[in-house]
Structure 1
Amino acid sequence: MKRVLVGEIGRPHGVRGLLRLRAFTADPMAIANYGPLTDAEGTRRIALTALPDGLARIEGVADRDQAAKLTGIKLYAERDRLPPPEDPEEFFLCDLEGLPALTEDGATLGTIRAVEDHGAGAFLVIDGPAGEVLLPFTKKVVPVVDIAAGRVVVAPPAEVIVAPQAGEDAA
């Protein structure tokens, strides 16, 4: 089951166990509606109540020390708990995982394993016959995303795909 990052627990607020909450949902107060929420590993269940002003109360947390131990935990919801995007041009990045990445001439480059973003912009991680390929997730490099048809069209820059050189070992 796919999971989607919907928020992150921030620092404690006060002495009664309240925490700051960064919700990545359209309505920050609705984050608890997508529960049960889990941590990144999917092993810890986190029940929370979103409060005004970006605060949250988490079940079982009654003081500042308990709250401080949760700082930085990323919160995930099951993909099927989230509503579908209203705009047909919108999608969740996790919906790209598992789709074939086709070149503009229809050749299969590989399958999208992940969409990652480490701060400089998202990129597609594609597993193909030539191994792993990383492509920037921009309109120029990924001109077509068709979730309904189950495909992504890519136009890789020449410098991304490097042909094997004579005398080099492919392994």
Structure 2
Amino acid sequence: MAAKPDLVVIGAIAGAHGVQGEAKVRAFGDPAMLASYGPFLDETGEVVFTPRRARHSGGETVIVVFEEDTTREALLAMKGTLLYVPRAALPEPDEDEFYYSDLVGLAVEDAGGAPLGQVKAVQNFGAGDLLEITGPDGVWYLPFTKEAVPHLDLKAGKLVANPPEAEAAEEAGDGDA
């Protein structure tokens, strides 16, 4: 059995557009490039759709026509389906850039090097990117900002976290006299 390719989520089905089988796809990157990376895959690497044409419709939405026959009803039923492409199909990021998928699995440490957990996922619930971290105290979220993540080292496989709660405790004196 062949190894599953390294996959990156690049979008999600957002619904149907019109009645001719066109799909609205929310791009998780450059909308103009969404359809240029080849077939859209599922999380197992199987082809879901092959884009034939795409046009940017403003914001994060792209209207896509697929090679495969599909219906409005089928697309509506697939709303929220994540679309993947092989990592190798994407351009290499610049030196100080990375894909969010590169963050998953990184060790999380505090400024003193004490382990805090591991990055499970990158989430965005509408108010900015958050790192979902699993640690000894369960799951917690860290804003993905320069203040909260002052150091990121992909080669070493870790990041330094400065959680806002820790900052607030320091400013309050943490109850020490």
Q: TM-score range, shorter-chain basis? A: 0.7 to 0.9
Rounded Cα–Cα distance in structure 2 between residues aligned with 1:149 and 1:21: 35
Q: Spell out, residue by residue over 1:104-129, the C-alpha distance to the aligned partner (whole angstroms, 9 max, x if none).
A: 11222222122222222222222233
Q: TM-score if structure 1 supplies the norm length? A: 0.72
Alignment of 1:110-125 (within 5 A): 110-125=117-132
Size of the aligned set, in residue pairs, is: 159
SS at 2:25's partner residue? strand
Unaligned runs of 5+ in 1: 162-171
Partner of 2:87: 79
Pair 1:59–1:130, CA change in 2 (3 A): same
Does 2:26 align with 1:35? Answer: no
Partner of 1:55: 63
Partner of 2:159: 152
Q: Going by fraction, where is helix more abundant, 1 or 2?
A: 2
Deviates more, 1:146-155 or 1:67-76: 67-76
Q: Is the 8 A contact 2:105 2:118 kept in 1?
A: yes
Q: Is the 8 A contact 1:15 1:63 kept in 2?
A: yes
Counterpart of 1:20 (choices 4, 9, 24) is 24
Pair 1:11–1:112, CA change in 2 (3 A): closer
Partner of 1:168: none
CA RMSD in angstroms, aligned pairs only: 3.0
Partner of 1:5: 9
